[in-house]
Structure 1
Amino acid sequence: MVAAAVLALVLVAFYLSWRATRLDRLHHRVETTRAALDAALLRRGSAVLDLVAADGLPPERARALADAATAARRAPETQRELAESALSRALRAAVEPSDAFGGLPDHLTEVASAARRVHLARTFHNDAVADTRRARRSRLPRALRLAGTAPLPDFFEIDDEPPAIPPPPAGPDTL
């Protein structure tokens, strides 16, 4: 009888330890994906500023892009989603009529690649946040406070649709 109670207690303790460790791993995953998202956003901002510095854009488009990229970099954390969304919109408005950019295919390709990476990083981050919230929402972790004092992670919602940039024309030496 005592052995059964001790065994049950050990199994419950093992299960609770496993759940707490799982929550810790999920929170670590959120932190990691957030760092990757921040890096992707900075990379996109740098690619946009490189495009502007290439001096092939019309001045009004270059100014709008530079202002949006600078605002996104300097935005406080509470305003970051709005600033990054504004950069996405400015990027699409400035780049999508890409017929005027004959001399900037490398810069446009880099911007398009960075914008796709932002979309992927945001998707991975939001998936990690959803998994963590789902795990914390069940009764046992809430009742026993298995998540400790870790704050509930937030989704990162921005307009991250990449601009429609056609691929550069294939030359004779690209096969």
Structure 2
Amino acid sequence: MGVAAAIVLVLVLAGFYLSWRATRLDRLHHRVETSWAALDAALLRRGAAVLDLAAADVLDPDAARDLAAAATAARRAGAHEREFLESRLSIALRRELERTGLPEAAAPFLREITGSAKGVHLARTFHNDAVADTRRARRSRLVRGLRLAGSAALPDFFEMDDHPPRTGRP
């Protein structure tokens, strides 16, 4: 009777442990989805701020057209090309906004763009941290062997140039 009780106890403890691991993986995947939603919102906010600046008639027409085209392309990008197009928008922002001689009327737009660009950087950092934690947890032999992650896809990092422009304004 003692051996049977010990086996049952070990099986119950193993069941609790496996349940805990599966729940932890589920929470990690949920964290990745939540962080992706925050990153997506930050990218859209930055794109909207750039479009507002481009429409405000405070930049020269060529610069406004280039920024608007880059923001529109990034907004409409598919999943596979979004990293590249968001990086291209970051580069265009730095090229246009780090120039000297921007009019004072551009100051509110610059503050909005700088703030949203910093938000993109933070959101991307949090997202990539969540992806790294999830991937680390999924590397375990136990998780792979018992398929504790179920059919959830392995999350991907989001790599882009997200350095905010230095505008020289507060």
**TM-score category of the 2 structures, normalised to the smaller one:** over 0.9
CA distance in structure 2 between the aligned counterparts of 1:90 and 1:58, rounded to whole angstroms: 14
CA distance in structure 2 between the aligned counterparts of 1:19 and 1:43, rounded to whole angstroms: 36
The alpha-carbon deviation at position 138 of structure 1 amounts to: 1.1
Matches within 5 A, 1:1-175: 1-168=3-170
**TM-score with structure 1 setting the length:** 0.94
Structure 1 residue runs of 5 or longer lacking an equivalent are 169-175
The alpha-carbon deviation at position 165 of structure 1 amounts to: 1.7
Q: SS in structure 1 opposite 2:151?
A: coil
Q: SS in structure 1 opposite 2:104?
A: coil
Structure 2 residue runs of 5 or longer lacking an equivalent are none
CA distance in structure 1 between the aligned counterparts of 2:103 and 2:42, rounded to whole angstroms: 24
Describe the superposition over 1:38-66 as per-residue Cα deviations: whole angstroms up to 9, x where unpaired: 00000000000011111100111111100
Identity among equivalent positions (%) equals: 67
CA distance in structure 1 between the aligned counterparts of 2:111 and 2:23, rounded to whole angstroms: 42
**TM-score with structure 2 setting the length:** 0.97
CA distance in structure 2 between the aligned counterparts of 1:167 and 1:20, rounded to whole angstroms: 49
Task: Name the count of aligned residue pairs.
Answer: 168
Q: SS in structure 2 opposite 1:103?
A: helix
CA distance in structure 2 between the aligned counterparts of 1:10 and 1:165, rounded to whole angstroms: 61
Q: SS in structure 1 opposite 2:42?
A: helix
Describe the superposition over 1:95-134 as per-residue Cα deviations: whole angstroms up to 9, x where unpaired: 1114323221111000000000000000000000000000
Tell me the equivalent position of 1:173: none
Q: Report the AA paired with residue 45 of structure 1.
A: G
